[in-house]
Amino acid sequence: MKNIKSRSTNDLKKLLATAVLAGVLAVPGAGMAASSLPLSDISQNANKDAILKLNYAGVLKGYTDGTFKPDKEVTRAEFAKIAVLAMGYTDEQANLLKGTTVFKDLPASHWATGYINLAVSQGIIKGYPDGTFKPNNNVKIAEALTVYVQGLKISVNPPSSGEWYYPYLLAADKAGIYEAKETPTIAAKRDIVAKYTDRFMETPVYANGAYYDKNGNANGTVKKLPVVKGTVASYDKSAKKVKLVGQSSDIAIADNAQVYGNIVTGAQIEYIAKNGKIAFLTVSTADSNIVEGVVKTSLNFTTAVGDEKKFKAIVNGKEVVLEVENGVSVSRSQIGQKFVAVLDEDGKVASITFSKNTTAGIVEKVSSVSGSSAKKEIKVGGTTYTLASSATVKEKSHPQAKEASSSFSSIEKGDLVELTLDVDGKVTAVTITKLSTTGTIRVDANDNTITLDGVEYDVLEDTELYVDEDEVTELDDLKNGQMAILTFDENGSLTKVEQGVGVADGKLIDDTTAYQVGSPATIKVEGKTYAILPTAKLTVDGESVSPSSIRADQFNDYRIITWKYNVGTRDIVELTMEKQSVTGYVTKKSGDKITVNGKVYQLASGVTIDSDAATNDKEYTLTLNNAGKVKAVSGAAKKVSGVVDSVEVRKEDGKLVSAVVEVGGKKYDVRDEDAIAEVEQFEYATLTLDREGEVTAASVQGKKALQGVKFVGIETRVNGDRYVFYGDVSTSLKMTKDAEIKDEDGSDLDADDLKKTDKVDLWTDANGQVYVIVVVND
């Protein structure tokens, strides 16, 4: 059965592993990630919240360059559009009324005719007595407020004296739209229009459209912009739910919600809900009024008069004194805890929320120092934390496992940890959650689950399943009651399951222990110890080696080419490795640094090399340790061996022009003809080369054992040995494994080219084995 469970069906289970994060407050830098402002020029504007709401509602949006231009004045045509949309009409409805208007200065082609005609039809906008509309004139404060008063269906009597707009301003003030801050006769700017429009849309009206007096009964009323306002009573960051003071239940925040500001307990917020979830939210409380820190003392930290309402805290690494309002308490039990406080206008703490002083994340580094400066450190989230001497350590072997006592040595890079800190930032407690674990599993292919230690984990649609290193798609391919490696993500979801035999390569060996009877040899790789089973197939530097012959430290600093191990154990069943070595000529030597093959290597302490290494003709082999330093050096002249294909010495007027010897199909220049004076074709020669690749010396072996004998055939035995028969079927000589067949001119031949009619010369080495068969042409 395929693992087809959807991750979305397991949200609650996924949260179990993140329980270590519960209680972390939504503070600046730690709360729910706030959306970046969609408009670049409103962050310091007093009407920012209104602008954000109207931008979200599509009533008064910003410009294509990402600005809002809050100080730009609004034309009468622009305001007609804003007012119509604020009343709840749509662009599509306005477009139906595009065309001819009653105003003589407004052509049918003007972009705003639909909005203006719709506003006129609703009785909220009128033109001037001369029959004009003046669409490009700036709308005045009084005109805008008049439109919104008429939009609320508020009955206004003409003034007996004074300006015409006085009754409208009074009505707007009563409705809570206008507070007499702006001069009514000046042009309205975009941010002021946003403020009025926001208040207009939030003013409740009866379902029939009649204005609702804010001092009356609100039952049966609605708002054009259904904004909910209040003080945060609680905020669950993990579940993304918020509850306001006075609300009986919390409300979830949608995943795609627009959230502006930091949600904290005690802060003032406004939100708009859609489909039962918050879709838009702004925090009215300014960030400057939100303080995050760690409690250092309780209230009344001295006996001085006036300190009864003060406590000390660490904020941004500095000690500060905060004063609280009546009813706000900070007790001794809260010393060392994190807090988030909301300040009032006088800078006093109006509300405060406490949580465990913890931080959580993936371990990036673990280190310890012994001696007089002893300390233990853990790096999480880019910050290094020091453990207090009395720090406790607990461990969960997998996300849903029970906690058990543990030690600092159990903490590894890649673990999920929760660190509890004291007031000085030192770690007093560590809880480790292993995200990779090994154990015997039970597989339920019908319910798509895997059980480990009695705990059930869902196999999700993106969980990777491997058997013998091959990915499988069927949960049935895993076996019940067998060991497996389980890997989890930070949320506790199962991401990978491995069973069978595993494969790895490219790793370095740190340490080797010897084989003992009843106890296999071991190697240490990346801090973990693996056993080389006595039955393992072991290949070292290309040669087969018995696991029972391994000596202590024998393979230290070797590089693993490939290995296989039983998944869920550290038992190696196959291992191929080689020394880390570099071979070449030294081209530069400076102190303890040498250059080989264009790369600089440093000699480890105590390692030396010839003083003339950069100029002599030795080819050096450098053995490296895991730090990349040279731990051993050996040097010797470079030698090549093989069958001599040809020898050529050219002279003119008795002087040497060139000397060349061809061995194994490659030609080598000879520095001195005397070096190859004894070398003949078809002999087996070993050439000594200088750093330019020229021959400085040669030694030969092999002899022509038989000449011009009849070739009968070549026979290969069961064990792979080959024999060449000559003369008749009763006489033969064993051939070397790399024996060659050549024509007498030196060219190579295949065994299939030999015929029983051929006559051959047989050349043998010191062991009497044929290393070359030469076909003799009659």
* Under 8 Å between Cβ of 492 and 13: yes
What is residue 371's DSSP assignment?
G
What pLDDT is attached to residue 161? 79
What average pLDDT does the structure give for the chain?
87
| φ/ψ of residue 43, rounded to 5 | -60, -35
Distance between CA 759 and CA 711 in Å, rounded?
Answer: 6
CB 533 within 8 A of CB 527: no
Residue 121 amino acid letter: S
DSSP 616: S
Q: How far apart (Å, rounded) are the C-alpha atoms in residues 226 and 201? A: 8
Amino acid at 318: K
Residues of the chain with pLDDT under 50: 1-33, 216
CA 311 to chain centre: 41
| Residue 35 vs residues 30, 50, 147, 260, 355: alpha-carbon distances, Å | 14, 16, 33, 6, 25
3-state secondary structure of 121: helix
If DSSP codes are grouped into helix, strand and coil, which group holds residue 197? helix
Q: CA dist 76 to 112, 186, 769, Å?
A: 10, 13, 109
Strand partners of residue 358: 420
The DSSP annotation for 271-329 comes to EEEETTEEEEEEE-S-GGGEEEEEE-S-S--SSSTTGGGEEEEEETTEEEEEEB-TT--
> Using one digit for the tens of pLDDT, what is the confidence trace for 714-742?
999 988 899 999 988 789 999 999 999 99
User: What is the model's pLDDT at position 208?
Assistant: 55
CA-to-CA separations, 438 to 46, 58, 154, 396, 497, in angstroms, rounded: 58, 55, 74, 13, 10
Q: Of 376, 366, 374, 411, whose CA–CA distance to 393 is shortest?
A: 411
Reduce the secondary structure of 333-396 to three states and give it as a string. HHCCCEEEEEECCCCCEEEEEEECCEEEEEEEEEEEECHHHCEEEEEECCEEEEEEEEEEEEEE
Looking at residue 113, its pLDDT comes to 95
Q: In what order do the strands lie in the sheet with 586-590?
A: 586-590, 593-596, 599-602
Residues 538 and 555 sit within 8 Å (Cβ to Cβ): no
42-52 pLDDT, tens digit per residue, is 988 999 999 99
How far is residue 354's CA from residue 291's CA, in Å, rounded to a whole number? 12
CA distance 8 to 773: 75
β-strands 383-396, 427-433 pairing:
parallel
Pairwise CA distance, residues 242 & 233, whole Å: 8
Q: So what's the architecture of 288-355 in CATH?
A: Beta Barrel (2.40)
pLDDT for 504: 60
Backbone dihedral region for residue 584 (phi beyond 0: left; psi -120 to 50: alpha; all else: beta): left
Considering only CA atoms, which of 256, 356, 359, 337 is closest in space to residue 30? 359
Give pLDDT tens digits for 290-319.
898 899 999 988 877 777 899 999 998 899
Parse the chain into domains and list their residue ranges: 48-221, 288-355, 503-579, 581-636, 703-776
pLDDT at 217: 53
